[in-house]
Amino acid sequence: MRTPVIAGNWKMHNTVDESLKLVRELKPLVAGVGGVEIVVAPVFTALDAVSAEINDSNIALSSQNVFWEEKGAYTGEIAPGMLKDVGCTYAIIGHSERRQYFNETDETVNKRVKAALKAGLTPIMCVGETLEEREGGKTIEVVSRQVKGGLAGLGSAEIDKMIIAYEPVWAIGTGKTATPEQAEEVHADIRRLVGQIAGAGTAAGIRILYGGSVKPDNVDVLMSQSDIDGALVGGAALQADSFARIVKFETK
């Protein structure tokens, strides 16, 4: 049984006060909801305050990125241990916006994943194709390259601790969700690939989240797919009521 994960990636939104307001609204709406890991990923500056606010709740904390060194002369970067220090238990790694705007590559994703695992953070490693790649029939090729690159050098005991998020770039922030069938097809391929890399047990256990315009009105059908184990939510995570509804998805 794979415990589903619903994670809200707040991206570059919300001051400390706004973050606290959102999480204070969210807490009572999801209190008592079990059988699902609920995660929020605020901006770095709000992590500490949000961490204190969710301390005794069923909501966990994630960063939106992490650097691979433990400390040193790396101006502007944040180490895995520093994220643990403020209460993070997850780290989003390799989001397509980082690949697109900040030169993130499969190699740097791999370094971040390894460093996060070493520090005891659960990596949420993001993969996904662009519209051009999908239209060129390259979806599986691109996603396979990203998965293999991101997992390079890791053993099954480490991959067991990870989460993969499939986020087709063309579905992010566009209102265009992949159809459940389109998403399921890629999720099943990712699971097969994880099986080739790390064995059947790891493939059966790893959580693969879908991201890209997940909303209250499409989460149920997405979550009803056999290889979709959760959602990485952007825009709809910025409103407590819509995120809470996504957390309370119903499968058919």
Catalytic residues: 95, 167
Q: Contacts with ligand 13P: how many residues (CB under 6 A)?
A: 14
In the bound state with ligand 13P, the residue whose beta carbon lies nearer, of 198 and 214, is: 214
Q: Which residue is nearest to ligand 13P (CB)?
A: 234
Binding segment toward ligand 13P, per CB under 6 A, in 17-25, 51-59, 81-89, 233-241: 233-241
Residue in 173, 192, 196, 241 binding ligand 13P, rule: CB under 6 A: 173
Give first-to-last CA distance, the chain, whole Å: 17
Which tokens sit at 133?
């790649």
Residue in 4, 42, 123, 234 binding ligand 13P, rule: CB under 6 A: 234
232 binds ligand 13P (CB under 6 A): yes
| Distance of closest approach, residue 37 Cβ to ligand 13P, in angstroms | 16
94 binds ligand 13P (CB under 6 A): no
**What's the CA gap between 116 and 77, in Å, rounded?**
14
104 binds ligand 13P (CB under 6 A): no
Please compute, for residue 245, the number of CA atoms within 13 A of its CA located in the half-sphere on the CB side: 12
Kindly identify the residues of this chain, within the stretch 178-217, that bind ligand 13P according to CB under 6 A: 211-214
Write the CB contacts of 85 (distance below 8 Å, at least 6 apart in sequence).
none
Residues near ligand 13P, by CB under 6 A: 9, 95, 167, 172-173, 211-214, 232-236
